[in-house]
Structure 1
Amino acid sequence: MLGFAPRSADRVPVRPATAVYGLNDRVPLGSAAGLAFQHLAVQAIFLVLPVAIGARFGLDVRQATNFLCLSLLALAIFAALQGLRVGPVGSGYQVPAIPSPIFVGIYLVCAGAGLTPGRAGALLMLAGVVALAASLLIRRPQVLVPTELAGLVVVLLGVSLVPVVLGEVHLLKPALPETATKDIAVAAGSFLVMAAIALSRTRLAPYGVLVGAAVGWLAVALLPGDSGIGAVLAANPWFAWPQPVWPDFEGIPVDLELGFVFAMLPATAVLLGNLLALQRAADADWRKPDGGPLRRGLLAQGLTFLATGAIGGMAPSASAACVGLSIANRTLAPIIALLGAAMIAALAFSPKLVALFVAMPGAVKGAMVLYATCFIIATGLQLVTARMLDVRRSLVVGLGLIMGLSVVIVPNLFAEHLPALASPLTFGAMTGFLLHFATSPLMIRQASFALPLDATLPRVAEEQALRLGGAWAAKSATMERVEHFLIEIGEVLASRGLATAQVHARHADGEVIVAVRFTGPPLPEPAAAPHVLALEGETGEQEAFTLWLATRGASWVERRAHEWRVGFDDA
């Protein structure tokens, strides 16, 4: 099924009582602007990535600044498309973006191979086409990246930021004792202010990171020494139009294209992990993933990659730091991210202001990353434990986490022998994905039985549902829907004079699929607009209404002449 279900089919979330701004709440413009600026301050931490990549491409100062401005436009496009609440594109959630740490490795490989940003943009565009095709073909993304695997990726993303924190306060590189001591003191003080404000019950609580950053920046300005901010600002104009770097498709290297496509996998997992985290936070009655917003979110990501490659910026990805911050602040309204996208787009036209964010003191960056990392890891752990972990899932999560931590423990070993995997996120996520897909066939369980179409039908349907649910460790609610389906469709077949029907059931990847085979004329389509008065109508109307009852709890229905296949979500 290539089509998307309408947004009206999405689950209507129950607003959490503790939410400051829920998913559907109106947010005062001043509050939304302050929260969006707080996201912008967190996003500024990662603006050093396109700066570093521009330097590796050999760009001069003006070209590197232009590359950064184009990357900012890509962040705005990502957040704007994700925040759309009408049409087939966009999750409808608040998903700010950052220049993607996931793609840093492949960009550096491109630079080392002598490619230009235009050639890299062409590679990203082709990868975006692959992402678009995948978003249309993947019917249930929550099965492709189950909750615990998405949680593993989010945890590893947080783990991968720990070296960034340590580096910003000079604990990974030699530094003068007084410099290291000053930076550690500023970072610790900023973090404590952020935590204290966030834990307070005042109106400033949602702006804890912003207040802490301002305090840290003021402390740096008052301490002796030249921060270097003045020189950076003087080298850049106030206003300049970003100049697109058009893609160059001549002689596309296949191996590098595969590198971009490969990076899509953890990028997709990061996006789905953030979307699932937002779903959980925005719905007080959350029980399982809602697939519609996830598919539209993947489509928005593919379009963003396509647009980013076309203008020549750096690939963006969902910001787990900003999402974690929104969840911590309980401010989930999409308008906040949309306003932030407008701010970022405006910022892209002012190199001097862009330079101001890049020149943020390292100690303040470290405090902000540390604060966000706490919530990233906590959010990932919540996703990992959203459902009970069996032996297979425990191995997938545990081994993936161990492999990711091994990169943090012995980074030089990976940098020397496995540079393509010298990232906790890349190596840990790849391990988890490979183990998940390799062991998935081992977890497929099947059963077949004859369903009697007589007075024993309800009892047999109940017994079979209980037996299979116990053997498969399926959710009781899922097997209740299976039981009702068997009873309702069995009654329709019994009314036609059939004695038995053959049932084949299958459980795999968080889904129960039930196929019912029968003889005789095909069954009618379930009623599109069911009404109880149909039970007093003609036989066809009665059957259509009953079949609607049978399939109303299903995720999907596939009708054939003598077989109906129905899927029930058990994720």
Structure 2
Amino acid sequence: MARLRAPIRPDGIRYWVHERPPWSMTLLLAIQQVAFLGSIMTLPVVLGRAAGLDAAAEANLIALTMITAGVGVMLQALNRFGIGAGLFVPMHTSGAAFPASLAAVQIGGLGLAFGMMSVVGLVQLLAGRLLPRLRALFPVEIAGLTVFMLGIGLGLVGLEHLLGMDSPLQGRPVGYAVGLVALAVIIGLNVWIKGLGRAFSVFAGLIVGQSLALMLDLVPSSELQEVYQAAPFAAPELGQFGWSLDWALLPEFVIVGLALSFNCFGVLTVAQRANDAGWRGPDIQGISRGLVAEGLTNITASLINGVTQTSSGGAVGLAQASGISSRVVAFVLGGLFCLLAFFPPVTQLWTVLSPPVIGAVLTFVGAFVALTGLKILTSRLLDNRKIITLGVALILGLGQDQLLLGLAAIPSELAPVFATSLSLTVVTAVLLNLLFRLGSKERLAHEVTIAGDWREEVNQLIWHLGRQWGARPEVVSRLEHASNELVELLLGQGLVANGARIRIATHFDEYDCTLRLCYPGEPVVLSPDRPDPDALLEQPDAIHQLAGYLIQRLADRVRVSHQDDQVEVQLHFQD
């Protein structure tokens, strides 16, 4: 197990996880997140209309969903009692849950849909408890692929909205102009303005873009009328739609729970990566607590009749872009969500946001998330097995629409897997990774003859194993350098001779890499002290002292043991 390492503050972060921004800034940041999350929380409206709800019941459904979102973001920031990742990770409704929820509505109404949502939460609780034992199924490269697909998904949805597709603005240049102006404001403030301008660049883009849309009559008057006619205050009615179960729907909702767990894994990876400049791989314990928080959120949604929630990659990307990732904002945002649920006109405002304005925000945030995923992917060495795993999963994910068109019928139980490009990508990658682990060795022993070409043989072995393991290139480079120095030192001290055979054994898991070099004879002396520069020129043995010092510096831990005329030198590296 890797040693605990304190996170390193990233460049560009103005207020870090445990820092407290001024209250005025915190409130404005929470309002910015409310505006963003509200613009993509469309599932309650669609589900309510599918169930034939009247305007009052639909408003109550939206209000209960807001309360659920408020509870979720606070639980995720909690990091107490095994609950929450301890990071600012807001939640929103997910399209992955829609097919199964709609099927439940058609069979037994909203009460059945909410009852079955409890299954989703229970699956996530179980996934959170089991994840530390299943960490081998989620290596860093799959985490990177998940984050990349999150960003691509956000960006593609943003592009659809920016172009006004499937809306009255499709094909209208004025709609494109409004979206591009909003995007230009966001980018301009984020890139060229420091301080508050960057922190509130998205909010400013929303305000400017929506103001233009209202001035140019791009918002239907009927939608504005609904805002004016909404009751100024109304207490949400908890559990209005009832609660029931149908075991025949269990497989579909179990798969929904797994799909949302994969999404949560990816979003929490984004949040961890954004808050640690020295990030090396997912903190599985933190993600496990995050899954528990999301599972409890969805059980709460089931009980009070709010719509299923999942961690929002867009909201995390927005926090990353603003440079403020304080947990304090999470608690203010959660409270604000719960408070605004009592004011129907506020919830109605979300329905009048112009599609091109929403598209500008999603396109901007998607770029941040997608590039974070690429950074994670390119930080690892890949062999053919990993290339095939990632490549096939990526192609299937990007070709999700073509798959849905090409396949005549998809079993209803598998609909959640195909519901989003992200769920299809991650499920494919995990299954292929599991398949390709067959025949892949975490432990390997190899004998090397110390002859003229021994360096090439050792280096080829180490880099081959590095690609198979998916290790970071800098770790493999350190391992190569240290092993070469060690063999040179053994030759220099006369502990092995040319033509002798040494045994090299390696072991790798998701966090650590260990090389054991075994030879017969006396133990090698590894000096922990750097030799004086003058001594290197005057004393022949000083070069051996330098080699020992370099080995101790290159490896995270070094141990030399001697038993029965056999010496084992163990070099340990953290990946």
TM-score by length of 1: 0.75
In structure 2, the partner of 1:238 is 232
Equivalent position amino acid for 2:427 in 1: M
Q: 2:180 aligns with which of 188, 192, 196?
A: 188
The AA in structure 2 aligned to 1:429 is V
CA offset at residue 467 of structure 1?
A: 10
CA distance in 1: counterparts of 2:140 and 2:312, whole angstroms = 18
Aligned equivalent of 2:90, options 73, 89, 96: 96
User: Aligned residue for 2:383?
Assistant: 390
Matched residue SS, 1:115: helix
Cα drift, residue 408 of structure 1: 4.0
- Whole-angstrom distance in 2 between the partners of 1:415 and 1:342: 46
Alpha-carbon distance in structure 2 between the residues aligned to 1:417 and 1:130: 23
Query: Which residue of structure 2 lines up, in the alignment, with residue 26 of structure 1?
Result: 20
- Secondary structure at the residue paired with 1:98? strand
Equivalent in the alignment of 1:438: 435
The alpha-carbon distance between structure 1 residues 291 and 430, as it changes in their structure 2 partners (threshold 3 A), is closer
Offset, 1:83: 0.5
Q: Which moved more, 1:471-480 or 1:351-360?
A: 471-480
Structure 2 CA distance for partners of 1:387 and 1:360, relative to 1, 3 Å: same
Give the equivalent residue in structure 2 for 1:381. Answer: 374
Q: Is the 8 A contact 2:143 2:282 kept in 1?
A: no
Is the contact made by 2:150 and 2:266 (CA closer than 8 Å) also made in structure 1?
no
CA contact (8 A) 2:84 2:289 kept: yes
Q: Tell me by how many angstroms 1:56 deviates.
A: 1.4
**Partner AA of 2:422 in structure 1:** L
Shift of residue 103, structure 1, vs aligned partner = 1.3
1:77-123 CA distances to partner (integer Å, 9 max, x unpaired)?
111011114432111101011112221222122223x2222222221
Residues of 2 paired with 1:166 and 1:180: CA distance?
A: 15
Quick one: which amino acid aligns to residue 151 of structure 1? Answer: G
CA contact (8 A) 2:393 2:425 kept: yes
Q: Does 1:303 align with 2:300?
A: no
In structure 1, the partner of 2:396 is: 403
Question: Counterpart of 1:198 in structure 2: which amino acid?
Answer: N
Distance in 2 separating the partners of 1:310 and 1:69: 14
Q: Is contact 2:111–2:244 with CA below 8 Å preserved after alignment? A: no
1:222-371 pair list within 5 angstroms: 222-224=215-217, 226-245=220-239, 250=244, 252-254=246-248, 256-371=249-364
* CA distance in structure 1 between the partners assigned to 2:45 and 2:24 by the alignment: 31
2:52 is the counterpart of 1:63: no
1:41 aligns with 2:38: no
CA distance in 2, matches of 1:56, 1:192: 37
Contact 2:262–2:423 at 8 Å: present in 1 too? no
**CA–CA distance in 2 between the matches of 1:72 and 1:344?**
6
Shift of 1:166: 4.5
Matched letter for residue 437 of structure 1: L
Q: Is the 8 A contact 1:83 1:95 kept in 2?
A: yes
Seen in structure 2, the aligned counterparts of structure 1 residues 146 and 415 have a Cα distance that, compared at 3 Å, is: farther
Q: Among 191, 197, 201, which residue is 1:199 paired with? A: 191
CA apart distance, 1:215: 0.6
- Letter aligned with residue 441 of structure 1: L
Is 1:110 matched with 2:104? yes
Deviation of residue 317 (structure 1)? 0.8
One-letter amino acid of the counterpart of residue 183, structure 1: G
Larger Rg: 2
Identical counterparts, % of pairs: 26
Matching residue within 81, 98, 114 for 1:121: 114
1:377: how far off?
1.7
Contact 2:161-2:356 at 8 Å conserved across structures: yes
**Do residues 372 (structure 1) and 365 (structure 2) align?**
yes
For the 8 Å contact 2:149–2:421, the answer to whether it is kept is yes
CA contact (8 A) 2:79 2:289 kept: no
Distance of 2:371 and 2:267 partners within structure 1: 12
Residue 424 of structure 1 is aligned with which of 421, 425, 431? 421
2-structure distance, mates of 1:344, 1:306 = 18
Give per-residue Cα distances to partners, 1:18-41, cap 9 Å, x unaligned.
Answer: 321112222111111122221112
Could you tell me which of 65, 74, 82 is aligned with 2:76? 82
The secondary structure found in structure 2 opposite 1:326 is helix
Following TM superposition, by how much is the alpha carbon of 1:163 offset from its aligned partner in structure 2, in angstroms?
Answer: 5.1
Paired residues of 1:15 and 1:23 also in contact (CA < 8 A): no
Equivalent residue, structure 2, for 1:138: 131
Displacement of 1:236 in angstroms is 2.2
Match of 2:524 in 1: none
CA distance in 1, matches of 2:11, 2:151: 28
Checking the alignment, whether the CA contact within 8 Å between 1:67 and 1:313 is kept in structure 2 is yes
1:53 aligns with 2:52: no
Distance 1:247 1:439 in 2: 46
Do the aligned residues in 1 keep the contact of 2:127 with 2:261 (CA within 8 Å)? no
Give the Cα separation in 2 of the matches to 1:304 and 1:469.
45
- Indicate the RMSD between aligned Cα atoms, in angstroms: 3.9
Residue 153 in structure 1 maps to residue 153 in structure 2 = no
**Distance across 2 between alignment mates of 1:274 and 1:311:** 25
**Number of equivalences:** 487
Offset, 1:417: 5.8
Name the SS of the counterpart of 2:379 in structure 1. Answer: coil
Q: In the alignment, what sits opposite 1:73?
A: 67
Aligned to 1:529: none
SS of the residue corresponding to residue 317 of structure 1 reads strand
After TM superposition, give the deviation of residue 188 of structure 1 in Å: 1.0
Distance 2:167 2:190 in 1: 33
* AA aligned opposite 1:218: S
* Distance in 2 of aligned mates of 1:60 and 1:471: 63
Asked if structure 2 preserves the Cα contact closer than 8 Å seen for 1:321 and 1:375, the reply is no
Cα distance in 2 for residues equivalent to 1:194 and 1:469: 46
Unaligned stretches of 5+ residues in structure 2: 448-457, 483-503, 517-555, 559-571
Q: After TM superposition, give the deviation of residue 449 of structure 1 in Å.
A: 10
Q: For 1:401 and 1:344, locate their aligned partners in 2 and report how far apart those are by CA, in whole Å.
A: 35
Q: 1:35 to 1:449 in 2, by over 3 A?
A: same
- Say if 1:407 and 1:414, in contact at 8 Å, map to a contact too: no
Query: Quick one: which amino acid aligns to residue 183 of structure 2?
Result: F
SS in 2 for 1:92: coil
Q: Distance in 2 between matches of 1:16 and 1:161?
A: 24
How far, CA to CA, are the matches of 1:140 and 1:553 in structure 2?
Answer: 25
Equivalences for residues 505-516 of structure 1 within 5 A:
507=508
Question: In 2, Cα distance between the equivalents of 1:62 and 1:247?
Answer: 13
Contact 2:164 2:356 in 1 (8 A): no
Structure 1: stretches of 5+ with no match in the other structure: 451-464, 484-502, 516-551, 555-567
- TM-superposed deviation, 1:17: 4.0
- C-alpha separation in 2, matches of 1:511 and 1:121: 44
Shift of residue 52, structure 1, vs aligned partner:
0.4
| Worse overlay, 416-425 or 289-298 | 416-425
For 2:287 and 2:358, how far apart are their aligned partners in 1? 31
1:483-494 to 2 correspondences below 5 Å: none
